């Protein structure tokens, strides 16, 4: 059955025919039947080079041997116990050792759960009610962070989804990314702000990169105002290197949220940080958090295998950074007048003359041109995330020959 037929059936059973809105590609999404390395195979009989990679988790590509073997070995022993398992200790120890700011952590099942729990913990630890997020930053689909972007530096939050209680998001302030002044202004205006949650590199509308000194100033100002700093490294964790963005930029947040890569491609989330904060989490402390699938044995095995491979092949980060640099050169060769943004294996071509520095600048991009470009890339056999405002990724499975094909497609389509 082809993708259009599958989608017609799906629409009768699932809202919009999909399990997540970003997958709702018009006129119909393509359906993947299997994947291997850097390639997706569709129900329509096509092969596509994958630069979406599950929106970031698959830094080793699809079905890497070591991760597959770890999953198979654990599956032979069982995949849900309802008790602690040794795998939790192994994966937690690896993550803690790689992040100087993390003394303890708690596994959950999604990045959304991780950010929700970190915010709850920050409020409990400080006794304060309000939080700050960055305009356009995505921290999952829970109520406190579903706030309409572009509302200005000092205004109260406005819900960005039906069903979100306005009184709840009224406790969420927003500031533009890369604006130290706006952050200082909001923190100076209230003594009731528990935490700032921020993607150190904006991934869900980007990548958008921090200006020189920005993250250092964010850390200084939050400390000055006795406000906790939460780094959302669900995307950047192990994507920018061992230790993520916080090690790359030399910043120690109070709390960190993780997801994607740490699960080896299986569902996962985690939040961690200073010992005095994490000891407030139940059952050791009064901040309740629980989940049936938290610390799932299959995910623990897959995550440990993936991070173990990364530790044994740290050269992958340099190779992937060189590959995105080569794609940037190909875009320059095309002379299309847009801007290419890259950091490590994260990259994006913006249909805007200058690289955006924040959400509002990113929204100035020509989305009509992007749609035409995206369709052209798909026709060339390259699958990019179907939005101007989602990051592209490379993996260890993207060989030099595959990167050359991506470069040729960019030259052609731009």
pLDDT tens digits, residue range 40-74? Answer: 999 999 999 999 999 999 999 999 999 999 999 99
Among the residue ranges 151-160, 186-195, 346-355, the one predicted with the least confidence is: 151-160
Q: pTM higher than 0.85, yes or no? A: yes
Rounded CA-CA distance 239/337 in Å is: 28
pLDDT at site 147: 83
The residues of the chain that CATH labels 3.40.640.10 are: 65-311
The encoded tokens of residue 23 equal 């997958």
Average pLDDT, the chain: 95
pLDDT confidence tier of residue 168, bands split at 50, 70 and 90: confident
Fold of 65-311: 3.40.640
pLDDT at 151 over 50: no
Nearest 10 degrees: Cα torsion 176, 178, 184, 185:
-40
pLDDT confidence tier of residue 157, bands split at 50, 70 and 90: low
Can the peptide bond before residue 283 be classed as cis, meaning omega within 30 degrees of 0?
yes
The encoded tokens of residue 340 equal 């290419």
pLDDT confidence tier of residue 152, bands split at 50, 70 and 90: very low
The residues of the chain that CATH labels 3.90.1150.10 are: 31-63+314-413
In Å, what is the CA distance from 37 to each residue of 63, 216, 404?
A: 7, 38, 16
Give me the half-sphere count of Cα atoms (radius 13 Å) on the Cβ side of residue 409: 23
In Å, what is the CA distance from 234 to each residue of 74, 138, 292, 412?
A: 25, 10, 21, 33
pLDDT at site 149: 64
The encoded tokens of residue 314 equal 């740290």
Instruction: Give the mean model confidence (pLDDT) for residues 159-177.
Output: 86
Instruction: Give the mean model confidence (pLDDT) for residues 64-86.
Output: 98
pLDDT confidence tier of residue 341, bands split at 50, 70 and 90: very high
pLDDT tens digits, residue range 15-31? Answer: 999 999 889 898 999 99
Instruction: Give the mean model confidence (pLDDT) for residues 365-371.
Output: 96
The sheet that has 392-393: what strands, in order across it? 339-343, 346-350, 392-393
Query: Would you say domain 31-63+314-413 falls under CATH 3.90.1150.10?
Result: yes
pLDDT at 155 over 90: no
Rounded CA-CA distance 346/40 in Å is: 19
Residue 208's beta-bridge partner residues?
A: 202
Backbone conformation region of residue 72, classed left if phi is above 0, alpha if psi is from -120 to 50, else beta? alpha
């Amino acid at each position: 059955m082809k993708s259009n037929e599958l989608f017609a059936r799906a629409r009768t059973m699932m809202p919009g025919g999909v399990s997540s809105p970003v997958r709702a590609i018009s006129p119909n999404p393509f359906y993947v039947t299997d994947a291997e390395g850097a390639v997706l195979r569709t129900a329509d009989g096509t092969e596509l080079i994958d630069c979406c990679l599950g929106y970031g988790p698959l830094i080793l590509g699809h079905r890497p041997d070591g991760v597959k073997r770890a999953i198979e070995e654990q599956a032979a022993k069982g995949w849900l116990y309802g008790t602690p398992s040794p795998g939790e200790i192994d994966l937690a120890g690896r993550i803690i050792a790689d992040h100087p700011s993390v003394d303890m952590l708690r596994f959950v099942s999604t990045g959304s759960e991780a950010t929700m729990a970190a915010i709850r913990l920050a409020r409990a630890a400080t006794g304060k009610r309000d939080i700050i997020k960055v305009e356009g930053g995505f921290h999952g689909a829970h109520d406190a962070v579903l706030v309409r972007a572009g509302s200005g530096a000092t205004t109260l939050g406005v819900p960005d989804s039906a069903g979100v209680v306005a009184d709840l998001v009224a406790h969420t302030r927003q500031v533009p990314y890369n604006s130290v002044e706006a952050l200082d202004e909001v923190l100076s205006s209230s003594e009731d702000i528990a935490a700032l949650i921020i993607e150190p590199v904006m991934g869900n509308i980007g990548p958008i990169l921090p200006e020189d000194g920005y993250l250092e100033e964010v850390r200084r100002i939050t400390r000055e105002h006795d406000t906790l700093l939460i780094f959302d490294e669900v995307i950047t964790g192990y994507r920018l290197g061992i230790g993520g963005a916080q090690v790359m930029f030399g910043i120690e947040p109070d709390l960190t949220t993780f997801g994607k890569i740490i699960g080896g491609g299986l569902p996962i989330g985690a939040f961690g940080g200073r010992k005095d904060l994490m000891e407030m989490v139940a059952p050791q402390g009064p901040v309740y958090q629980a989940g049936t699938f938290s610390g799932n044995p299959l995910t623990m095995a897959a995550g440990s295998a993936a991070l173990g491979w990364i530790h044994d092949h740290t050269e992958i980060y340099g190779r992937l950074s060189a590959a995105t640099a080569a794609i940037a050169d190909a875009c320059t060769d095309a002379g299309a007048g847009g801007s290419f943004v890259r950091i490590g294996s994260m990259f994006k071509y913006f249909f805007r003359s200058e690289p955006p520095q924040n959400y509002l600048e990113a929204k100035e991009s020509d989305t009509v041109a992007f749609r035409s470009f995206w369709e052209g890339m798909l026709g060339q056999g390259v699958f990019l995330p179907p939005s101007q405002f989602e990051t592209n990724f490379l993996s260890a499975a993207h060989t030099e020959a595959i990167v050359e094909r991506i470069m040729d497609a960019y030259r052609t389509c731009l």
